[in-house]
Structure 1
Amino acid sequence: MTGSGHISAFSARRAALFALLSGAFLACLALLVSPPPVPEMKSSAIPPPLRADRQVEPSFVHHFGRKHDEATWFKSDFYYPNSGHPAWQADLIHFKKNRVELEVRRRKVAYKNIAGAEYQRRGFYHYGRYEVVMRAAPGSGTVSAMFTHTHGQFGDPHDEIDIEFLGKDLTKMHANYFTNGREHGGIYIPLGFDASKEVHLYAFEWEPGAIRWYVDDRLVHTATPADMAIPQAPGRLMVHLWSGTRDQFNWHGEPTFRNGARARFYCLSYQAAGDDTEQCSDSYTPRKYRR
């Protein structure tokens, strides 16, 4: 082989080595600048209905305490991709002597920057009276809530009825409802107190033609079909605490809450329409839950 042949062979080997190294470098660079793939939410993480035919559950009253009952309650431990909600994490649900405390933290979970807590009653619930004894979480950016809900995520229409407390102004209760994906919009009800500093009883009554919201058994707002169609689909019943993405800041406030802020829930009850069963209000007194 001539000298020029040696040079050509060397150049070819050098070019091949350069291409190999360049490819490896570019692959490593891509890993550094590209976000990791987002894992899909496992379908098994979504609580199944207690009955496959979505038959509504009977009336109940539940006084929260030290124990978690897996048969009737579900700890959310997942996140919905492409949602403004945080990652729900079961370790942020804390059981105390006479209550359950839900916590919200600045915690990185996949691409989510906030972790919150959601506690669901298994099964489906329909017309009747819903009561909760609670104390909202303090701090701008928090959302403390009790609500009924179903959604396309579960293969159902999006119907929802809310009692919420927004951290930017805890002297108001935010009432809202959705019917088949359509939102009524915010209803802000003055309380006369800070919902993060006192324990109170909140309720709504759901009928085919009306929703009525109460604070300490005082009627504070009524919605009728003249406002917007009333939800009709049975839904899940849950309490949760969360903070959203930038798109929600104007609604719930800039997230300046203390890391680890908590909402306290003492009692939750559902009295089906036509029943006369025990409710949270039967044993509630303002003094009962003071420190």
Structure 2
Amino acid sequence: MTQQRCNHSKQTTRCIGQIAICAMLLVPAPLFAQELPKGASFFDDFETFDESLWGLSDGWVNGDWQNCMWSKDNVAVDDGLLALRFAKEANDKRDYTCGEIQSRHVYGYGTYEARFRTSTGSGLNAAFFTYIGPHHGKPHDEIDFEVLTRDTTAVSLNTYVGGEPNNGKRVPLPQPAEDGFITYSFVWDPDGIRWYVDGVLMHETAESSPLPANDQKIYASLWGSESFPNWMGNFVEPDAEVLMDIDWIAFTALDEGCQFPGSLVCQDG
């Protein structure tokens, strides 16, 4: 779910903000109405923060419904993981801060994959998704994986086409999202979208369903809200910082071959 989006054993301990000094920040969305460059296939294992692939959301909120401000200090890379953090930190916009990365390019048909784990917390959303919208001079198109961390035994799937939701479904996870890393993948091609969890097909678009038509940016984010108790649960202030740890993110363009072991593209058939 995206509304008025502005552009969105490894240790879990992080030096939050350690990449902020060198990472060029994305500025608020109105400056992004020009055509965005199209990206090629990639696999990012976050051994470093690749500034050519990613920008950081910083200093704004997506709307009144979001109870945290995006902060560059809530994104860090350490020990081969990218960590997004939600924490109680009062600022001039909200009482909490949250973390998000977004791609500098747009991507089209192909396979989108991320491997991550989350903490738990009611009223929080750990999301891996693609999005394009009016701030980019395009209609609102979107493809979602959203772990609502009030219940980490399932993940929510969805699309938006021209701003209208379609194909929403909540599917079980093979283990609670905080217990270990899970691979979330979707394949987007001209005929439809198929969602996979750890390589297992979980959902696909109906034959007559409208489909996204515009190349989209890739996002990973951890954010909170007090506005959607029926969806995200009643917000409960966390006792400690909440983390979304991302092992890797990848995109493989349609008709391109296996890039790395563990990719859905590498499976027979």
TM-score when normalising by structure 1: 0.75
Provide the residue aligned with 1:89 in structure 2: 71
Alignment of 1:117-128 (within 5 A): 117-128=99-110
Q: In the alignment, which residue of structure 2 is the partner of 1:77?
A: 58
Which residue of structure 1 aligns with residue 228 of structure 2?
A: 248
1:36-66 C-alpha deviation (Å, 9 max, x unpaired): xxxxx999344977xx54342110000013x
Q: How many residues align?
A: 239
Equivalent residue runs for 1:184-223 within 5 Å: 184=166, 186-223=168-205
Q: Structure 1 stretches of 5 or more lacking a match?
A: 1-40, 284-291
State the match for 2:17 in structure 1: none
| Alignment root-mean-square deviation, CA | 2.5
Once residues 160 and 81 of structure 1 are traced to their aligned partners in structure 2, the CA distance between those partners, rounded to angstroms, is: 15
Percent identity, aligned pairs only, is 26
Show the counterpart of 1:167. Answer: 149
What is the CA-CA distance between 1:115 and the residue it aligns to?
Answer: 1.5
More helix by share: 1
1:212-263 CA-partner distances (Å, limit 9, x unpaired): 000111101111342x30111111101110111x322221112223331101
Deviation by residue 1:62-110 (Cα, 9 ceiling, x = unmatched):
0013x32222210110324644233110000021111011000123333
The residue that corresponds to 2:84 in the other structure is 102
CA change 1:217–1:82 in 2 (3 A) is closer
Structure-1 residue corresponding to 2:243: 262
Match of 1:271 in 2: 252
What is the rounded CA distance, in whole Å, between the counterparts of 1:163 and 1:43 in structure 2?
Answer: 23
Q: 1:180 to 1:95 in 2, by over 3 A?
A: same
What letter matches 1:146 in structure 2? F
Quote the Cα distance in structure 2 between the aligned partners of 1:72 and 1:43: 12
Is 1:143–1:167's contact at 8 Å kept on the other side of the alignment?
A: yes
Please tell me whether residue 134 in structure 1 is matched to residue 116 in structure 2: yes
SS in structure 2 opposite 1:44?
Answer: coil
CA distance in 2, matches of 1:178, 1:46: 19
Letter of the structure 2 residue corresponding to residue 74 of structure 1: G
Q: Unaligned 5+ residue runs, structure 2?
A: 1-6, 8-24, 265-269
Alignment map for 1:30-45 (pairs within 5 Å): 44-45=27-28
The one-letter amino acid of 2:27's match is S
CA contact (8 A) 1:137 1:167 kept: yes
Q: Which residue of structure 1 aligns with residue 4 of structure 2?
A: none
Residues 173 and 44 from structure 1, CA distance in 2 versus in 1: closer, same or farther, beyond 3 angstroms? closer
Tell me the SS of whatever aligns to 1:275. Answer: coil
- For the residues of structure 2 that align with 1:127 and 1:83, how far apart are their CA atoms? 33
Matched residue SS, 2:104: strand
SS at 1:250 equivalent: helix
Aligned residue identity for 1:230: L
